[in-house]
Amino acid sequence: MNSSVHGLHLPVMLEESIHGLKVEAGGRYVDCTTGAGGHAQAILDASSPGGQLLGFEADPQAVEIARERLTSFGSSALIVNRNFSNLEEECLERNFFPLNGVLFDLGLSSMQLEETGRGFSFQYDAPLDMRFSPDQQLSVEEIVNSYNESDIASIIYKYGEEPASRRIAAAIVKNRPLYTTTQLADIIVRAVGGKKGRIHPATRTFQALRITVNRELETLETALRQALNMLGYGGRLVVISYHSLEDRIVKRFFREESRDCICPPGVPVCTCSHRASIRQVNRKIITPSPEEIHKNPRSRSARMRIAERIITHPEASLNSAGLFFISLTGCLAGIAGCMSLN
């Protein structure tokens, strides 16, 4: 792919991501949503000399673009064609830990939205697919043509927060079979009574169907835990989300993991034995600058949260020899990772 293809995707909040990760020379980083490689390239530039990056990308087309873009970094960059729900497995298999930083840039890339044959956007007439990877079994076409009306309404309401979910589901069932994005979008517009408001009437429904097909929220919860497990002390976890469902999961995870006790309110004595393993770097969400939104309107809904791995109370109670052993183990693992990343 040429540079014009690379230019389809503008990395969102790029400077804020590098600053949030505290990228340093020789560090080990994971980009969980590599896309066309914009964030990955910036991380590798900032961590030179000696920096390494492991990238995850479910879309095979994006993998090829990112690999070409990062060719100049040689063995310092490895992009795997897997979902980020496999983060811990890949890091352990490659001895690529402890990590200095993990980045999640959730949602769709401009490249996916402008790919006319994938069905992510109702701006183009395309098959009802929306799978991030062609290896996935479930597609949107199967949902709208085989699920019952109640299940479709539940998906649209739960994952799209769409008030007209029942009307839309009834219209879908009444008009099926459906095969293209424009068919579906037109039915949604008629079901809600025309185009009203600042967003297209089909936006929330398309979001809900995409989230369902790719199990986006379930994999996010799993991957956040795995990222925390792989982070070294002082390592940073940076998450950019684009809608309230994603941000709610990240906010809850950060809140719980930054507290020593997560017992229900009113419990007189703590029984959970939970200990804080992160500190929240920013209590309030970080949003794109007006200048960035002007240059890249799709960044307007982005919100960033940052956390840093800390030593828990049980770990802090270890003697100096114990802490040295943990550090030494991490260093040895890192050296092995340098030799086996590819």
Around Cβ 188, how many Cβ atoms within 10 Å? 24
Alpha carbons within 13 angstroms on the beta-carbon side of residue 57 total 26
Percent of the chain with pLDDT over 90: 73
179-233: pLDDT as tens digits: 999 999 999 999 998 776 778 999 999 999 999 999 999 999 999 999 999 999 9
Which domains can be identified in the chain, with CATH numbers? 3-105+216-340 (3.40.50.150), 117-214 (1.10.150.170)
How big is the chain, counted in residues? 342
User: Using an 8 Å Cβ cutoff, are 133 and 142 in contact?
Assistant: no
Confidence of residue 283 (pLDDT cuts 50, 70, 90): confident
Q: Is 150 exposed, middle or buried (0-12, 13-18, 19+ CB in 10 A)?
A: exposed
- Whether the pLDDT of residue 289 is over 50: the answer is yes
Q: What ranges in the chain are assigned the alpha helix state H? A: 3-6, 14-21, 38-46, 60-69, 87-93, 110-113, 140-146, 149-160, 165-175, 181-192, 203-214, 216-230, 244-257, 290-295, 313-316, 320-340
Q: Give me the torsion for CA of 237, 47, 26, 319, rounded to 10°.
A: -30
Mean pLDDT for 155-163 is 97
Q: pTM for this one?
A: 0.87
Distance CA 240, CA 230 (A): 19
Contact at 8 Å (CB) between 77 and 53? yes
Contact 30, 102 (CB under 8 A): yes
Q: What is the band of 327 on the pLDDT scale with cuts at 50, 70, 90? A: very low
Query: What per-residue confidence (pLDDT) applies to 313?
Result: 57
Q: Which of 102-111, 115-124, 187-196, 199-208 has the highest mean pLDDT?
A: 199-208
Q: Categorize the per-residue pLDDT at 263 as very low, low, confident or very high, splitting at 50, 70 and 90.
A: confident
CB 214 within 8 A of CB 223: no
Please determine, for residue 304, whether its predicted confidence score (pLDDT) is greater than 60.
yes
Q: Which range has the top average pLDDT, 93-97, 194-198, 326-330?
A: 93-97
Whether residue 251 is predicted with pLDDT greater than 60 in this model: the reply is yes
Higher pLDDT, 149 or 265: 149
Scanning 147-215, the segments in alpha helix (DSSP H) are 149-160, 165-175, 181-192, 203-214
From 113, 106, 99, select the one nearest 219 (Cα to Cα): 106
51-79 average pLDDT score: 96
State the pLDDT at residue 311.
82
Token pair of 339 as six digits: 């030799």
Quick one: pLDDT at residue 332? 40
Mean pLDDT of the chain: 88
| 55 backbone dihedrals φ, ψ, rounded to 5° | -115, 145
Q: How far is CA 71 from the centre of its chain?
A: 24
Residue whose C-alpha is closest to residue 119's, from 174, 57, 60, 185:
185
Q: Which amino acid is at 182?
A: T
pLDDT band at 128 (very low <50, low <70, confident <90, very high): very high
Q: 300: exposed, middle or buried (C-beta count within 10 Å: 0-12, 13-18, 19+)?
A: middle
Neighbours of 117 (CB within 10 A): 10
pLDDT band of 7, cuts 50, 70, 90: very low
Preceding amide of 49 cis, omega within 30: yes
Examine the pLDDT at 331 and tell me if it is beyond 90.
Answer: no
* Residue scoring higher pLDDT (290 or 316): 290
Asked, as a colleague might, if the bond just before 98 is cis with ω within 30 of 0, I would say: yes
